[in-house]
Amino acid sequence: MTSSDVSAPPEEAGTGQAEAVRLDRVVHRYGLGGESFTAVGPVDLTVPAGEFLVLVGASGCGKSTLLRLVAGFERPTRGSVRVHGAEPRPGAGAGVVFQTPRLFPWRTVRGNIDLALRYAGVERARRPERRRELLDRVGLAGVEGRRVWEISGGQRQRVAIARALAAENPLLLLDEPFAALDALTRERLQEDVRQVAARTGRTTVFVTHSAEEAVFLGSRIIVLTRSPGTVALDLPVPLPRAGVGAEDLRNSAEFAELRARVSHAVKAAAA
């Protein structure tokens, strides 16, 4: 055993669970000097590998800023952000899904996925099989020949999710991906994302302003205060991750209780 083994941080040595994301005293400011505005922080947060973390809070509290820091699109003004132990670089360590899918509208569904697989470095010969797997997983088999402008908003968001999964990153980041969809489509996609996360075991950070969505998806929920966003509540979600139908889960007393608790915390934190 080397000396570095002995000095491993106790939380890592103790649980044996790898850390996917770690934020230490993170503060983020926009603008310069007297015009500057603190959007986030200070925030300390550790996300173990495999966790489905939901960040919830009122509009403007800094959720997207936090997610962009984890994606490496922004550097923190103070503190440090680590993804699997390293400084995050855009496009490298995480698949990202935005509220409005950023697809190539004139390309087919197949073309959008293939492009993602190419960027992800998947060999040309392996792409058709991987594409079929991804399309199956997000429920798009059958529309792969359509152009993006010919499919529905829900289907577009499915393409965006498939694309984010294409790179086989261990980390998936989603920023209010279902906010613009109708209620029925939103519920279906929530069910699919929950299953995809459970099946792939990927670490997921999901941003929403909906307490309902947070409780349905999360294995852990962080409620943020109004800006500058800080952690107001850190809540484990003890609901079963598999083996219970979505409808039964949504209708359960435990679900209702948690939703009420999160909803109350979001309102209190925003006041």
Q: Which parts of this chain interact with ligand ADP (CB under 6 A)? A: 30, 37, 39, 57, 59-65, 227
CB 11 within 8 A of CB 23: no
d(CA 45, CA 186): 28
Looking at the Cβ atoms of 59 and 152, the one nearer to ligand ADP is: 59
Helix, strand or coil for residue 155?
helix
Closest by Cα among 57, 51, 39, 46 to 24: 46
- Contact partner at residue 210 from ligand ADP, Mg ion, none, CB < 5 to 8 Å by partner kind: none
Looking at the Cβ atoms of 175 and 191, the one nearer to ligand ADP is: 175
In angstroms, what is the minimal distance from the CB of 98 to ligand ADP?
Answer: 11
- Contact partner at residue 190 from ligand ADP, Mg ion, none, CB < 5 to 8 Å by partner kind: none
- Contact partner at residue 258 from ligand ADP, Mg ion, none, CB < 5 to 8 Å by partner kind: none
Looking at the Cβ atoms of 112 and 227, the one nearer to ligand ADP is: 227
Looking at the Cβ atoms of 117 and 224, the one nearer to Mg ion is: 224
The sign of the dihedral angle between the CA atoms of 75, 79, 83, 86 is positive
Per-residue tokens: 34 = 């007297």
Looking at the Cβ atoms of 64 and 227, the one nearer to Mg ion is: 64
Looking at the Cβ atoms of 60 and 111, the one nearer to ligand ADP is: 60
| Site of interaction with Mg ion (CB under 5 A) | 64
Looking at the Cβ atoms of 99 and 185, the one nearer to ligand ADP is: 99
260-267's contacts with Cβ under 8 Å and 24+ in sequence apart are 261/235, 262/56, 262/211, 262/214, 262/215, 262/221, 262/223, 262/233, 262/235, 263/211, 265/223, 265/232, 265/233, 265/235, 266/56, 266/57, 266/58, 266/209, 266/211, 266/223
- Contact partner at residue 119 from ligand ADP, Mg ion, none, CB < 5 to 8 Å by partner kind: none
- Contact partner at residue 227 from Mg ion, ligand ADP, none, CB < 5 to 8 Å by partner kind: ligand ADP
- Contact partner at residue 39 from Mg ion, ligand ADP, none, CB < 5 to 8 Å by partner kind: ligand ADP
What b-and-e string marks burial along 173-207, b requiring 16 or more CB atoms within 10 Å of the CB? Answer: bbbbbbeebeeebbbbbbbbbbebbeeeebbbbbb
In angstroms, what is the minimal distance from the CB of 64 to Mg ion?
Answer: 3
- Contact partner at residue 65 from ligand ADP, Mg ion, none, CB < 5 to 8 Å by partner kind: ligand ADP
Q: Which residue's C-beta sits nearest to Mg ion?
A: 64
In angstroms, what is the minimal distance from the CB of 212 to ligand ADP?
Answer: 17
Helices 153-166 and 183-200 pack at an angle, to 10 degrees, of: 20
Distances (CA, A) of 64 to 137, 169, 242, 247, 270: 26, 20, 29, 29, 16
